[in-house]
A and B are shown apart, each in its own frame.
Chain A
Amino acid sequence: MSLLYPLGLLALAAWLVPLLIHLARRHQYAPLDFAALRWLRARIRPRQKIRFDEWPLLLVRLLLLAALALLLARPLLHGGAADTHPVTVVAPGLDGTALRGQDAKGDWRWLAPGFPALADAVPASPSPLASLLRELDQTLPAGAPLTVYIPDPIPGLDGERPRLSRAVTWRPVPLAPAITRAATLPAVQVGAGSADAEQRVLAAIQRAWTNQALSPARAADSAPDDGQLGAWLAAGPLPTAWQAWVQEGGSVLVAPGAAGAGWTPALRDAQGAVVLEQRQEGSGRLLRFSAALSPTELPVLRDPGFPRQLLAVIAAPAAPTLAPAATQAPLRGAAAPLPAPRELAPWLLALIVLLFALERLMATSPRRGAGA
């Protein structure tokens, strides 16, 4: 047992109050009619004996104050019998009731923020399962067996494979992922004023990507569609409409030597020379080749792998979010969860209420009124 706020015990100084009241009450004598007063001698004062008349009541009052002081000090109870009953968690999306079956007594929970009981409403589906697993592992007392029902493939992973402090019974349940993302390849949209040679190169790249022809060039006042790669290779500044489109998240290929600072290399050739540079512009970006877009000026264009390399720059593949559940079984070796000390405040509150009721009962009992 320890105290979170030991200074709260200073409240025990309040013990002085009932003690002093109790002692002070002793010195108040009720006047007693005595006609033969003249034969009493006043020399001898009554002895100020420290005597407690109603020590049960005093004791209860002191106990009450002690309990209040202890409540202020916020006692914690360490150790004790940790609750190591088995826990089973079910990832959202799985059919919890079916998995549970007839096991009505076990502690079944959702693997969701707060770990609600299985009987509660099904939580919203997308949740960081790996992170929740780590949290649950640290929340449960050491030694509590943990069973995890997880969809296969498993979503909600993050950078590291879950590493837990205990052995986990890993139960993958085959479940088709809810969302299948269709991979979309960008289409090049050429702006007006591009040279034919450049258009031929772009058309070749487009054909390498999607095996489709280049769409007709667009004028300065019509920006490319979303998902396209704009190409404004004409000299001069970018048209206003195109600039606005870039600001909103588009990617535009501009002529080499375009003005501006903050260009960073995006693609290098085999010799390590920078071929493509990019620059953030709002939430979009500008791209420029290091030389004019022709095989003579830019030999890397002759490389058969160039369209793929460019595609990796233009549309970087999304990080994987699904993995086969069998490969993601948690590792052992994390630090064991610290045993959570138990707060005694509820018990103390109950004790205080009881003591207060007892004190009132004793203080207002008719027997005491008659005695006093």
Chain B
Amino acid sequence: MSRTAPIAIPADVRSRLKALRLLPRRARGAHGIGQHASRSRGAGLEFAQYRAYEPGDELRQIDWKLYARSDRFFVRESERESPITLWVLLDATASAGQRDRARPDWSRLDHACATAACLVELALQQSDRFGVIVLTGEGVQLVPAGHGPRQRDRVHLLLRKVQASGRWPAVTALAPIWERVQAGDLLVALGDGFDEAGIVLLERLAAARREVLHLQLLTAEERDFPFTEGHRFRDPETGEELLGDGRAIRADYLARFDTAQRALQARLQSSGIVHATGYLDQPLDQPLRVLLGAGGGA
């Protein structure tokens, strides 16, 4: 697979993206001026708290009216709105290379990269910092968080080089994620969600005060199972093969897959991870709307 074409976001998707916003529930910006509630306090519009005067505080920050009432010095603090850091975690294991027979030139990885580009656009709109982490069988490739159009180009450069390969990397290979993704950062995981290790990683990230969103990308064949003939199904990661008659195993598969999906949703929900499912035959922004609409709380 050679993905040399630049990742282009369709015009209609791009126009609908303008209505979307990355609104984290827990993630807080740290420094700088942005659109998100911040833990840094100081001069600003939004009142945060009064605190006792300490030597060294600027005199102009003292609330003189309160001094008149209470005869004590209080410093009025307000919240600042700061940018957050968005991380896009891309699952590029071999299963990401799966594609629908109806659209053989569009793999799950292509869809994930395009979705990642959409997320990057959103972050760029909001002047948020963003970085990308790609998980392949060889390990982790990432673009450190940054901001600005040049950062977007760096991200696109990485996304264009990504090839789907291998299985989910070992836990030790995931150390860069823990180093880079700080507490309070927003992390959107894109992938099929079939890897148990991947879910565990998200749960642990969520437990460690990272705000984690999970966008599961499924092919239309995984959703509909439209096979009516005998096929040799092969797991791209394990290489395991299974001979089955599509018509005969369809109902059983759909029931089991639905159960598994529900279990996954429940599990993620219990960990506080927002979950949405997108399909390869749907527009890019449809699952994002679900994900960010729910995540932002509006």
Contacts and interface: CB of A to CB of B under 8 A. Distances in A.
B229 A40 contact: no
B245 A37 contact: no
Contact of B235 (A34, A42, A44, A46): A34
B245 A33 contact: no
Nearest to B249: A44
A37 B249 contact: no
B242 A42 contact: yes
A35 B97 CA distance: 9
A29 B242 contact: no
B256 A32 contact: no
Contact of B98 (A35, A39, A40, A47): A35
A32 B245 contact: no
Interface in A32-66: 32-42, 44-47
Contacts of B97: 33
Interface string A283-310: 0000000000000000000000000000
B11 interface: no
A41 B194 CA distance: 16
Interface string B219-245: 001100001011111111110111111
A30 interface: yes
B234 A34 contact: yes
Contacts of A39: 253, 256-257, 260
Contact of A46 (B230, B234, B241): B230
B233 A47 contact: no
B256 A41 contact: yes
B240 A37 contact: yes
A30 to B, nearest CB: 7
A32 B232 contact: yes
Contacts of B194: 35-36, 38
A45 B230 CA distance: 8
B244 A45 contact: yes
B29 to A, nearest CB: 36
A31 B235 CA distance: 9
B249 A41 contact: yes
A46 B228 CA distance: 10
A62 to B, nearest CB: 25
B248 A44 contact: yes
Interface in B133-183: none
B57 interface: no
A36 B257 contact: yes
A44 B244 contact: yes
Given A34-B235, A35-B194, A39-B256, A46 B245 contact: yes
A32 B230 contact: no
B216 to A, nearest CB: 11
Interface residues of A, number: 18
B252 interface: yes
Nearest to B248: A44
A312 to B, nearest CB: 102
Interface residues of B, number: 33
A38 B233 CA distance: 10
B95 interface: yes
Contacts of A45: 243-245
B253 A41 contact: yes
B95 A40 contact: no
Contacts of B233: 31-32, 34, 37, 40
B285 to A, nearest CB: 24
B146 to A, nearest CB: 32
B21 to A, nearest CB: 32
Nearest to A49: B230
A35 B222 contact: yes
A44 B227 CA distance: 14
Nearest to A37: B235
B192 interface: yes
A39 B252 CA distance: 8
A47 B244 CA distance: 9
Nearest to B230: A46
A157 B232 CA distance: 86
Given A36-B257, A44-B245, A44-B248, A29 B230 contact: yes
Contact of A33 (B234, B248, B249, B260): B234
A41 B232 contact: no
B95 A46 contact: no
A30 B249 contact: no
Contacts of A42: 242-244
A45 B233 CA distance: 12
Contact of A31 (B98, B232, B256): B232
B74 to A, nearest CB: 60
B243 A35 contact: no
Contacts of A34: 98, 221-222, 233-235
26 contacts: A29-B232, A29-B243, A30-B232, A32-B232, A33-B97, A33-B98, A33-B99, A33-B234, A33-B236, A34-B222, A34-B233, A35-B108, A35-B222, A36-B222, A37-B234, A37-B235, A37-B242, A39-B256, A39-B257, A39-B260, A40-B244, A42-B243, A45-B244, A46-B231, A46-B248, A47-B230
Which 3 A-B residue pairs are closest in the complex by CB-CB distance?
A46-B230, A35-B95, A46-B245
Given A29-B231, A31-B241, A40-B242, 17 more contacts: A29-B243, A31-B232, A34-B235, A35-B192, A35-B194, A35-B222, A37-B240, A37-B242, A39-B257, A41-B249, A41-B252, A41-B256, A45-B245, A46-B230, A46-B231, A47-B230, A47-B245
